Every structure is written in structure tokens, then in C-alpha cells.
Amino acid sequence: MSPVNSSMHDEARPSLRELEVLRALIASRKTTSAAASLGVSQPAISRSIAALEARVGRTLFSREGGRLTPTAEAFALEEETRPIFAALDRIAVWPDGPARRGLVRVAASPTLAHFLLPDVVARFRATEPELAIHVEIGTGSAVIAAVADRLADLGLVDAPANHPAVRAEPMREAVGHVIMRQGHRLASLQRIGPQDLQGEPMIALARRFPSRIEAERHFAAAGVEPRFVTEATTSAFAAELVRRGVGVALINPFPLSHGGLDGLVALPFTPVIRYTTMLLFGASGAASPAARRFADALKASVPEGGLSQPSN
């Protein structure tokens, strides 16, 4: 390549600093936060992004309500940078750094986080002690948003995840169970139907959960008006209310079968309400090797009791 052509090629190539700024802005959505994380001034952040947009000929961020929103092009470019920064991280600890040093950012809904993740994180850390695991707990919609915005490498939810920037991978299947205290009048049954719950005090999950709407349709079809005495936003909280005698609850038994159902009786509900626990990844590009290994560890985690099964 001639010197002139080489110079032109260098001018068209984004600098490492510009790519660092891109990643920092996608993570923080604010120039002030990005500047603080990189140890530079806010104007330097703005200049770097303007220069990067000029190089690639695309708008990478739009401003909405004081926050910068990455465009699809920004996410696509950030995806291309991942191998670059992964290589730099490896070089930083070469030749003495362990091959599996790194970070996995996991976002999970509350019940999954509290009952499934602790055992998996502990076992995973025992085999990969140099790998850091950050866990963010939030609602299902917050988990989906975190994966879509690349703030999490891996998401874990037990509700539908319809988002164009998210790829959902089924992990575990279960059917709805009615949980009650031991010695309850219904505990001797094999299955529980809507008629069995006529007049029975029940703890309901909030109406934002699709399973709540499906359950109400089954009750209506059977001509039964459920007696909901309180609402809960997590299955774990519903189980604690059941344990204290507030009522019974119709829930997804996974992952409460990891210790959250101790002292309770769980009986399958008819008609069947199906639940699928999903692993979530960014829609574009492959998951990082560390995130993939952690996902595999989650899939291999089999709770006792037979209340769920692996997805096919």
C-alpha cells in the first residue's frame, strides 16, 4: 500500500479512544458519566463521538429527555468492538493472567435471583475463581431492557421476552401448581381445579403477569369467582404469605423448588398453565464465552422434586 493510501486508510479507521467512548456512552447514556469513567472531560467525550459519527457516516446517538439513546448502528458497532477489548483485557494480564479472567453481568427477576442463582454462582466461582459475576435484580421488563441495552450479558426471566434486540433461549419448563400449608383441607388431592378453590382465600400474582390473566380465564370458564385476598409481585413473597396462613397461591413452582417450598404442599393445577424460564442474550452477535459457560451452568442446575423439566 502506498504511503498516501495508508494515510487515508488510517484517517478512516476509528481510534481506540473513540471506541472506548462509544462503549462508555452505551453503558451510561450520559456524557458526564462516560467522562468520569474514562477520566476525560465532557467536551472530549462529545468531540470523540462527533468524530466517530463522521468516520462511519452514521448517527450513533439521539438525545431523549436529557439522556443519550444509542441507535441500532451504535449497538452494531459496539458489537464489533467486543473482540478488540476482549483481546486487550487478555493482553493486560499476559502472560501470567488466567485464561478465564473476566466479568459476567447477569440480570434476573427476583424469585429466580434469590432461589436459583446463589447455588449456581457459588459452584461457578469454585471452578472459575478469577471470573467476577455481577448480578442485577429487577422486574422482568427491567431484565429484558438490560439485555437489550447491553447492560447485561445474560438475562433470566420466566415470562415472554418479545424484544427485537433480545434473543430468548428456553431453559426450564413447568406447569402451574397450587401451594398450601401442610394439613390444608385440599392437601390430600392429586390435582387442583377451579371448583376446588371456590371460596378459598387466595394470594394472586399481580395482573401484569400473563399467568394471572390465564388463570382468571380458567376460573371464568368454570363459573368460579376466585376469592383473591391479597396480591404479590413475586412468587417468593406469595409463598411466604401461604406459609403464614393468608391463603393458597397458584404459581410457577420453578425455582421455588430450590428450597422456597419447604414446609408447603404443591399440587398441579388443571387446566394446565405452562411456564417457560428463559435465558436472554443480545440478539446480534454471539454471547461471550464466560456468559455462555454461566448459561450452561444454569441449564445444568436441576432442582429436586420433579416440579420442572429442561426445555427441549
Q: From first to last of its 312 residues, what are the pLDDT tens digits of the chain?
A: 444 454 444 567 889 999 999 988 888 888 888 888 888 999 999 999 999 999 999 999 988 777 788 898 998 898 888 878 877 766 766 655 544 567 899 999 999 999 999 999 999 989 888 889 999 999 999 999 999 988 999 999 988 788 888 999 999 999 999 999 999 999 999 999 999 999 999 999 999 889 999 999 999 999 999 999 999 999 999 999 999 999 999 999 998 988 899 999 999 999 999 999 999 998 877 788 889 999 999 988 766 567 888 887
Residue linked to cell 438525545? 63
What's the pTM?
0.67
List the chain domain ranges.
3-77, 98-173+276-310, 177-272
Cβ atoms < 10 Å from Cβ of 4: 8
Instruction: Could you please state the CATH topology (level 3) that the domain comprising 3-77 is classified under.
Output: Arc Repressor Mutant, subunit A (1.10.10)
Computed from CA positions of residues 257, 263, 267, 272, in that sequence, does the dihedral angle turn out positive or negative?
negative
Domains 98-173+276-310 and 177-272 fall in the same CATH topology: yes
177-272 CATH: 3.40.190.10
Architecture field, domain 98-173+276-310: 3-Layer(aba) Sandwich (3.40)
C-alpha grid cell for residue 25? Answer: 456512552
Does residue 170 contact residue 307 with C-beta atoms inside 8 Å? Answer: no
In this structure, are residues 106 and 153 in contact, taking their beta carbons and an 8 Å threshold?
Answer: yes
- The secondary structure of residue 13, as a DSSP letter, is S
Cα–Cα distances in angstroms (integers) from residue 216 to residues 56, 131, 219, 223, 261, in the given order: 52, 45, 5, 10, 24
Helix H or strand E encompassing 274? strand 274-282
Q: Are residues 297 and 120 in contact, defined by beta-carbon separation less than 8 angstroms?
A: yes
Q: Provide the phi-psi class of 108: left if phi over 0, else alpha when psi is between -120 and 50, else beta.
A: beta
* Torsion (CA) 69, 71, 75, 80 in degrees, nearest 10: -130
Q: Where are the alpha helices (DSSP H) in the chain?
A: 3-12, 16-28, 31-38, 42-56, 72-92, 110-115, 117-127, 140-148, 210-221, 235-243, 289-300
